Structure 1
Amino acid sequence: MRKKLSKNGNASSQKDQLIDIFSSYHPISEELKNQLTIRLKIEQLQKGHCLATQGEYCVHFYYLAEGILTSTTNRNDKQLTTFIVADGSFVTSISGMYGQRPSDESIFAIEDTLVIALHAQDFHYFYQHHPEMNAIMRCIMERCFQEAHERSKMIRLGTAKEKYLYLLEHIPQHINRIPFPYQANYLGIREETLKRIQKEIHIENDEKQTTTLFKRIEHHLLHTNIIYQPKITLKSFAKTIDIPAHQLSSIIKTKYKKSFNQLIYTLKIEHVKQKLANITDHKHLTLEGIGTEAGFKSRSVFFSEFKKQTGLSPGEYLKKLKQ
């Protein structure tokens, strides 16, 4: 579970922010706040250093203020990654919680890390003298166990792709901070499989983004008057719809099989053809006037483009419609 502290401030302010997180679960007394301020300890952990070691006792419960921690266990000469957590998570060795038996796992930092620790003996003190701490820790532990259960289901039942999507969903802003081998080991898949999945997802995301942007492009082309502006350009249209010009050009070529200018002229001519088909509604306009209304900058460009697309001049096209 993740509730993040601000990364700014000294040790005292970091403790205060964690106390505020505790109080978000249940109101706490001033006496408990004072005791927490005294008993909470700030620890800095360098990359690669252990917070807990397999086979040793873990006597602290930690809040991960900054950094990333991973837990591994060694069995039958094989190392398994049991969890990866980022800023804003509560963490301890569940198997060795409260220091009652040796830990089954090692927890170490995969980047420089800052944690706030509370000793197991302090928990027992709080449970006896400050009942609200029981409610706070129950909420925290329920959420921790729920997340552990979700992780176990993901590892047992999910496909390789589903496992990676789970990781993306839960720590999307941190995924690039986790070394590739740790991701693969945690998900229980080979590194080459993970690379293939990442490539597939990247392609899928590109396709989804292209579809979303295409809908925006199509809306402006078909449902606004922007294409009838005489001075419309790829650059001006891209700025209007907030899409980079190179990306706009690429999408148009992919979807319409035309350049931007070719597409704009095609739409303008289609607009003119609709006007000519209903010429009785536009008797006040000359052929040249209809071209101007469609956004053609000159009579010569209008007539040239119309004949290029239809094989007829506007007048010939109109005459054919009347036959």
Structure 2
Amino acid sequence: MNEIVNKIASKYCDLGKSTISDWETKSKIIEYKKGERIVREGQQRHKLFFLIKGSLRAYYTDDDKRITDWFAFENEFITSSTSYFTDEPSLHFIETIEDCVILETEKNNVELLCKNHHDFEHLFRVILSKVIVQFRYRIASIQFKTVKQRYDSLVKQYPQIELTVPLGDIASFLGITQETLSRIRASKE
């Protein structure tokens, strides 16, 4: 757990020893194989996930078509936001792109940790702020940037994305076809 907390501290904020100890008792580290769904559409999954190893995608389905709207990589948090924050069934799936190791904390335990530890409450606010800003950038990108600019921004944010994420998911995230993505990638070479 100390190694995990050090990763969290380097990207988000420091946590005290009592907070770390309490969090350790209120969470689980779970290993998932590639292709496993950790959240299903329609499921109520009130958990906060911290990705220790691997990568995840969140997606909707529409007429059997998968529409990717969120990626998470090592040292990032992800949740089914609809289910977590509104107690409604999840609107999307969260699935492993590769084998993953994930720290899972139930919502009620997150709330207890926030209530009992100011530094954990601060961590939770930092996580939410980063996610909100990330989604605002995504919306602005879709509204104001060209497809090539969106692709370049994604690769800049996640330089290794093309090594782990299927091109179909990248294209879906960008709102384009895989053929268009192939043309954009070919023009860079």
Could you state the TM-score of these two structures normalised by the residue count of structure 1?
Answer: 0.54
Specify which of 67, 78, 85 is matched with residue 54 of structure 2: 67
Unaligned runs of 5+ in 1: 1-14, 203-323
Aligned to 1:151: 138
Letter in 1 for 2:138: R
Letter in 2 for 1:177: T
- Paired with 1:119 and 1:106, the residues of 2 have a C-alpha distance of 18
- Paired with 1:190 and 1:61, the residues of 2 have a C-alpha distance of 31
- Paired with 1:107 and 1:148, the residues of 2 have a C-alpha distance of 17
Name the larger-Rg structure. Answer: 1
Aligned to 1:142: 129
Aligned to 2:151: 164
1:22 positional shift: 4.6
Judging by fraction of residues, say which structure has more strand.
2
Q: How does 1:243-254 map to 2 (within 5 A)?
A: none
Deviations 1:172-209 (A, max 9, x none): 1232211111111111111111111101111xxxxxxx
Is it true that 1:196 corresponds to 2:183 in the alignment? yes
- Paired with 1:130 and 1:81, the residues of 2 have a C-alpha distance of 35
- Paired with 2:96 and 2:65, the residues of 1 have a C-alpha distance of 20
Judging by fraction of residues, say which structure has more helix.
1
Aligned to 2:120: 133
Q: How does 1:1-323 map to 2 (within 5 A)?
A: 15-23=1-9, 25-75=12-62, 77-97=64-84, 100-202=87-189
- Paired with 1:85 and 1:156, the residues of 2 have a C-alpha distance of 22
- Paired with 1:72 and 1:120, the residues of 2 have a C-alpha distance of 21
1:76 positional shift: 5.2
1:107 positional shift: 0.4
Task: Check conservation: 2:8, 2:75, Cα contact below 8 A.
Answer: no
- Paired with 2:21 and 2:55, the residues of 1 have a C-alpha distance of 29
1:103 positional shift: 0.9
Unaligned runs of 5+ in 2: none
- Paired with 1:113 and 1:59, the residues of 2 have a C-alpha distance of 19
Identity percentage of aligned residues? 23
- Paired with 2:14 and 2:34, the residues of 1 have a C-alpha distance of 36
Structure number with greater CO (CA < 8 Å, separation at least 6) is 2
State the aligned residue count: 188
Task: Check conservation: 1:53, 1:107, Cα contact below 8 A.
Answer: yes
Partner secondary structure for residue 96 of structure 1: helix
1:20 positional shift: 2.8
Instruction: Provide closer, same or farther for how the CA distance between residues 95 and 88 of structure 1 changes in structure 2, counting only shifts above 3 A.
Output: same
Partner secondary structure for residue 95 of structure 1: helix
Task: Check conservation: 2:55, 2:97, Cα contact below 8 A.
Answer: yes
Letter in 1 for 2:3: Q
Could you state the TM-score of these two structures normalised by the residue count of structure 2?
Answer: 0.90
Deviations 1:144-186 (A, max 9, x none): 1111211222233322211211211111123221111111111
Deviations 1:228-283 (A, max 9, x none): xxxxxxxxxxxxxxxxxxxxxxxxxxxxxxxxxxxxxxxxxxxxxxxxxxxxxxxx
Moved more, 18-27 or 161-170: 18-27
- Paired with 1:27 and 1:48, the residues of 2 have a C-alpha distance of 33
- Paired with 2:14 and 2:145, the residues of 1 have a C-alpha distance of 39
